[in-house]
Structure 1
């Protein structure tokens, strides 16, 4: 008679402890990604400035020449739209790169042990570098447009953390699913690009009919975008009703981490 011993799966708290023990890997992977991202490019970090400005120019042209420009607060449309884009691009980067992180990092995963959730987590750090540059550019635009921030700007780091949480809540689920269903890596960009039109990035929430406010409150990125604007110039449309969507994203992140933990034992077989 042969006895077979199997290791019991880690508890949720023990798993989080392992992630904490390997937190240095987040910096290692993020540093590697940044070097790869800007290797052999003439403009380097300048691309991080060019990309959002190009997007801003396209949407400004769309709303200024093709459709009626939505009425926005006294900050002006350029600052209004760019603040929303800054939050959205951080979210979309985490979702894009995080969802494909297990596939792009499969070679490393086969050589070195670390909790695989470190891979999508490292994308937050890379995205935060781009976010910092975009926020600096936004401050310059505010200075040019004579938009003065209030005391609320001290709370902006909190909304940046919430922004990262919302992105991770999606990326963790998608990364665990994409490793099995590879077609998702082609579908996700279309979903995210469509999602920007369901979030008040380029338009104020005041143009949304009252009967659809429930959708705004359930969309976590609405609260993030409006939170950025409230922090930057005291935009008064931010209400605590957006907390529903933010709480939903937090619960989604916890559930996604549990799901990821359960799937991690089978990921190497798929890879």
Structure 2
């Protein structure tokens, strides 16, 4: 893992260049360009606001609009969802590079992660701006976003390495991941408050590692709770994430010699 991090640092300029190129490819040929990348998430937030705030009168936090409670939970999901969906087909979309013997293809999954990060940084800025518009004061707790952002990056990077390698040999992986993401969206406490569920099943719900990230972002912006107050959740999350990350990288490396032949 340490070697992998060193390789990333040494090749950071190439990764950033390819990620910027990947980002631009998303809206080439579109009249409104990058606007469409932000339109769908914003529309989703507006719809959920009207359904849950206006329709169901949902208000998990007293004296706080539902949209302020929703956004810290759903914005990290947008990054996770976008990165994993695009990351599954990384190798097939860059098959021309995979077939080049001199190119280190193990950086390709990172290109998708960094490309999605460009958008995610803007959404985090929008999140802070919305809190300010609603009269919330800037808080030192917002700095914890950096920690939970790293958590999200590590989890999704491991999954991208894992799924992109499998997708070369099992073409149904893309569809399986799409179903997994639809299911994962609703079992994570993004739209609903975990405290309203029966207490005896809380431990089951917290087995979902993304719950830690959702709770963490809300701790930064809504509840103002430090990440060090949840040591057991942090321990479980990092054990799970590091297993996925190291397992994904190891599988990718093991299958790497066969990618060019299959593609």
Is TM more than 0.5 here? yes
1:252 counterpart residue number: 244
Structure 2 residue corresponding to 1:261, chosen from 242, 245, 253: 253
Offset, 1:235: 4.1
Structure 2 residue corresponding to 1:33, chosen from 7, 22, 37: 22
Offset, 1:58: 2.1
Where do 1:44-193 residues align within 5 Å?
A: 44-64=33-53, 67=56, 69-72=58-61, 74-111=63-100, 113-193=102-182
CA distance in 2, matches of 1:220, 1:102: 26
- For normalisation by structure 1, the TM-score amounts to 0.86
2:221 counterpart residue number: 232
CA distance in 2, matches of 1:87, 1:141: 16
Judging changes above 3 Å, is the alpha-carbon distance between structure 1 residues 161 and 73 closer, same or farther for their aligned structure 2 residues? farther
Q: How many residues align?
A: 260
Offset, 1:112: 5.7
Unmatched 5+ stretches in structure 2: none
Write out per-residue CA displacement over residues 47-102 of structure 1, whole angstroms, 9 at most, x where no aligned residue: 33322211112222332465452523543210111111110011111211111101
- For normalisation by structure 2, the TM-score amounts to 0.89
- Say which one has the larger Rg: 1
Judging changes above 3 Å, is the alpha-carbon distance between structure 1 residues 74 and 51 closer, same or farther for their aligned structure 2 residues? same
CA RMSD, aligned part only?
A: 2.3
Q: Is the 8 A contact 1:156 1:231 kept in 2?
A: yes
Offset, 1:39: 1.9
Write out per-residue CA displacement over residues 210-249 of structure 1, whole angstroms, 9 at most, x where no aligned residue: 2222223321111111111212244459733421133311
CA distance in 1, matches of 2:86, 2:25: 14
CA distance in 2, matches of 1:75, 1:33: 38
> Bigger shift: 179-188 or 53-62?
53-62
Q: Is the 8 A contact 1:98 1:120 kept in 2?
A: yes
Judging changes above 3 Å, is the alpha-carbon distance between structure 1 residues 61 and 236 closer, same or farther for their aligned structure 2 residues? same
CA distance in 1, matches of 2:158, 2:58: 33
CA distance in 2, matches of 1:269, 1:236: 51
Q: Is the 8 A contact 1:216 1:242 kept in 2?
A: no
User: Is residue 2:199 matched to residue 1:210?
Assistant: yes
Q: Is the 8 A contact 2:72 2:127 kept in 1?
A: yes
Unmatched 5+ stretches in structure 1: 1-11
Q: Is the 8 A contact 2:141 2:224 kept in 1?
A: no
Q: Is the 8 A contact 2:190 2:214 kept in 1?
A: yes
Other structure's SS at 2:192 match: coil
